[in-house]
Chains A and B, each alone.
Chain A
Amino acid sequence: MKRLLEALKPILRPELTGNAESPEVDNTAYSPDSRVDLITGGNDNTTITDKVCSIVEDKPTIGWWGFFLLAFSVLGLLGIFVPFLIFWGVGTWGVNNPVGWGYAIVNFVFWVGIGHAGTLISAILFLFRQKWRTSINRAAEAMTIFAVICAGMFPGIHVGRAWFAYWMFPLPNQMELWPNFRSPLLWDVFAVGTYFTVSLLFWYMGMIPDLATLRDRAKNSVRKIAYGALSLGWTGSNRQWHVYERSYLLLAALATPLVLSVHSVVSFDFAVSQVPGWHTTIFPPYFVAGAIFSGFAMVLTLLVPARQLFGLKDVITLKHLENMNKIIMLTGMLVGYAYSQEFFMAWYGGVKVEKFAFINRAFGQYAWAYWIMVSCNVLAPQIFWFKKMRTNIWVMFVVSIFVNIGMWFERFVITVTSLANDYTSSAWDYYTPKLADVMIMLGAFGLFFTLFALFCRFLPFIAMSEVRGVLADQAHSREAALARHSSEADSASGSQGEN
């Protein structure tokens, strides 16, 4: 009988299978006197484990195959155009004499920025004890790693002679030369390299307990060996948890200043120069805010379909999405603040060329790009002032796409407008990308989505061990609330006598 029930489980409880429908529960109601349930649908440790592991254990769905094949074919563009670029040189790009930094830098900054949300969710929200991070941090961290891989590709191929890309590292060589540590471009190498390494460690370390879960559920020997090796022999021992948790906290504390520093260093690439429109002191925090903004948008773009596809609406609930929308709105306004301060200072500073650079951005040849940027980044998120909008799946999905577009254009506006029209007006030129620029840009998206699809398929999509902790908290706070209500009821009945 018990075995029969086991066999029927997927049929009796369809939400446990990969692509089944899980109910959408509105848990976003503001309740000042109690915390809302972050995990809905009456899940417990068993169902959460089954649900998350089934994504990896069940046969992939048609939706997943469709997504993967599409992404993989877009990735093929890289396979065509990167060899083309390496063979012919950067002349295949549209960069010209004043605009020496084109799509490669734009894409680099764009992808590094995307990566920032993962670390913000996993490290900063961890330090701020935001429990809702547990449902989304794994996917966001994975996204971070893949975004940094995409970003790292661009400096590699845009150095011209890609086979000498290792010259960026301080390695002893026959010419006894060292890299120039006074160059912000070299700081980038260290910042992005450190960021990738630390994010990877953080991601992997967080995954060890969940990989152990997959190991313990594995049915075939390939899985047993693979997950067994990756989980390092984890037994959930509390003596190990103790050190593990301390280490996780320390990594979070280290990753927090790191995430601020990375995009700050990226902003130094621009801001240490004397190029009008680049040289402004607010660049470091402004870039960081923009990075988190774009990263959260990308997390939404990925998670809104994923929770549908994998039946995770009761784990990644509306509350999680609403909170992310609030952060998008906040960081969007921070970015808007930076735009306004730049404009104000360009005028207030009284430096003529600086003033020109900003007027040129808004009303010159690239005005179209500037206004795409402003409407996508500053105006679009304002819709989230309304709760109806920030809890509407379609609205948030569309806004997240807008923000992705807007933030790509922000980097385009910064990079291109300042270079195209700088001090020497006789050398001004208009920048137009060529085919290879556009195709490599698209190919990077292919790489990103392909890696993400593989991640969904082979690694635990949700940080199960952390969600179990949230479930335990939820149960305890429900008990406490029950106790409180019963005592209130007692006192209410007691005071009625007095009235």
Chain B
Amino acid sequence: MRHGVTVDLSTENRTLGSLSGKMIALGTTLAVLGLIGTLALGNLEGAFGGHEVESSAAAHDAGSHGPIHGFVTEWSIWHPYLVSACFFLTMTLGGLFFVLVHHITNAGWSTVVRRLAEGVSRNVVLMALIFIPLVFPDSMEALYKWVHPDPGDEIIAVKSSYLNYNWFLIRLAIYFTIWITFAWSYHRSSVAQDRDGDVQRSSRMSRMSPVGVALFAMSVTFAGYDLLMSLDAHWFSTIFGVYIFAGCVLSFHALLALIVVFLQANGRLTRAVSDEHMQDIGKMMFAFTVFWAYIAFSQYMLYWYANIPEETIWFVRRQSTWMWSFWSWVMVVGHFFVPFLFLVSKHIKRKRATIALGALWVLAMHWADMYYLVMPQISNGTEFPFTMIDITILVGMAGIFIIGLALSLRGHSLIAEKDPRMSESLAFENA
């Protein structure tokens, strides 16, 4: 802090400028590729077309005669869609959390990258659009068996006042309203400060942030229950919301590192965001890698140890075939040990190439985590449902996400120009 050299911002390229056009072009290409790929491969896979009747009959069959009573569905195009949608949604929400926590703690170091987080969090509008196809009755039926449960399923009957189509839609609307409101208003206020430099804006945002974090915690928890946990509506875990939250924050920091590396490779923010800031972003990735492992282990160990059938079923489904066992080990090794050992070094966190590699790995693992939450719910986990559609949908959504990012980052500076803590952040050093 004391001995840091203040960066002269006036010589810094800190607008997206022509890059936004390139990002939109890239995004469009990816989106089109994804769409064409999905349609073409989907046709080959037979994902579209009238075999819904057949498949729900098969699911019913599996449910009543399977070796273990499972609450599962047949593969549909909406499963990979949900995986990728949740993958991007969690990242976006991580961005919102970053902004709120920045204000709640009156943080200093993160001021230079806060605008990028605000940009990411604003993508939640886009995520709302992406979720619209999911809530049509057809897609809901394909994903969530509780929409039309088996007759005589007492467990579902108990919670039908919570798990029903209308109430689900209302809840989803509430979550998105909360997220969009906070993402939008914090971004707007921050951009307005660029113009008028009013420090009262910072103070107001700081005062509102505890409310934001409280609402964020509740909405992310219940969104996790609704979108992912209720895929197996018989199963329950009180820590599930925290698990989703850990994924949100982890994946967002990985995304943030990638965005910074991308911008700097294109000559933006080359000095404002220094090695010191990269190291801190890396530290957060490291910390949340550990936090994710802690939460995941707690959930696993407690259910493993108590060994109660209605609880272990969720894990049994993910361990009883070699494919899913392998995938579980990928989570243990790839989601925890590899990034843990990789990111522990200070030098790795400070070099752009290595931190970008780590961030890509973390994002890949986060996607694998979402896959692990959704896909074993298909056919009692006895099938390994990987198809090229998983990839094409991911690519398509990534394209849309990049377009959204370009739109929400252009038209203003890439850093919060007149934030009162900017000079502190620019001069920041890891002591």
Contact = CB atoms under 8 A, between A and B. Distances in A.
Do A and B touch, yes or no (CB under 8 Å, in the complex)? yes
Nearest to B103: A32
A282 B308 contact: no
A345 B217 CA distance: 16
Contacts of B299: 281
A337 B217 contact: yes
A333 B302 contact: no
Nearest to A275: B306
Contacts of B420: 32-34
Interface string A11-48: 00000000000000000001011110000000000000
Contacts of B65: none
B172 interface: no
B242 A282 contact: yes
A257 B106 contact: no
B221 A341 contact: yes
Contact of B305 (A272, A348, A351): A272
A227 interface: no
B241 A341 contact: yes
Contacts of A73: none
Nearest to A349: B236
A301 interface: no
Contacts of A347: 158-159
Contact of A274 (B203, B238, B306): B306
Contacts, number: 97
B102 interface: no
Contacts of A283: 298, 302
A348 B290 contact: no
Given A129-B431, A257-B290, A473-B1, A285 B217 contact: no
A122 interface: no
Which secondary structure dominates chain B's binding surface?
A: helix
A308 interface: no
Interface in A330-356: 330, 333, 337-338, 341-342, 345, 347-351
A126 B361 CA distance: 29
A342 B239 CA distance: 9
A277 B158 CA distance: 19
A330 B218 CA distance: 14
A260 B242 contact: no
Contact of A348 (B2, B106, B221, B236): B236
B131 interface: no
A280 interface: yes
A272 B302 CA distance: 5
Nearest to A479: B2
B382 interface: no
A348 B302 CA distance: 19
Nearest to A387: B207
Interface residues of B, number: 43
Nearest to A336: B214
A477 B2 CA distance: 8
B421 interface: yes
A41 to B, nearest CB: 23
Contact of B162 (A329, A348, A385): A348
A348 B424 CA distance: 48
Contacts of B353: none
Nearest to A472: B2
Interface in A262-298: 264, 268, 271-274, 279-285
A476 interface: yes
B278 to A, nearest CB: 16
B236 to A, nearest CB: 4
A282 B236 CA distance: 11
A264 B218 CA distance: 22
A434 interface: no
Interface centre among A129, A285, A338, A348 (most CB of B within 10 A): A348
Nearest to A352: B158
B302 A281 contact: yes
B294 interface: yes
B388 interface: no
Contact of B239 (A34, A272, A281, A351): A281
20 contacts: A32-B106, A33-B420, A257-B290, A264-B294, A264-B298, A268-B301, A271-B302, A272-B305, A279-B302, A281-B237, A281-B238, A281-B240, A281-B302, A282-B238, A283-B302, A284-B295, A284-B298, A341-B221, A350-B159, A473-B2
Given A32-B202, A33-B199, A272-B305, 13 more contacts: A32-B206, A32-B420, A271-B306, A272-B306, A281-B238, A281-B298, A281-B302, A282-B239, A330-B210, A341-B241, A348-B159, A350-B155, A351-B310
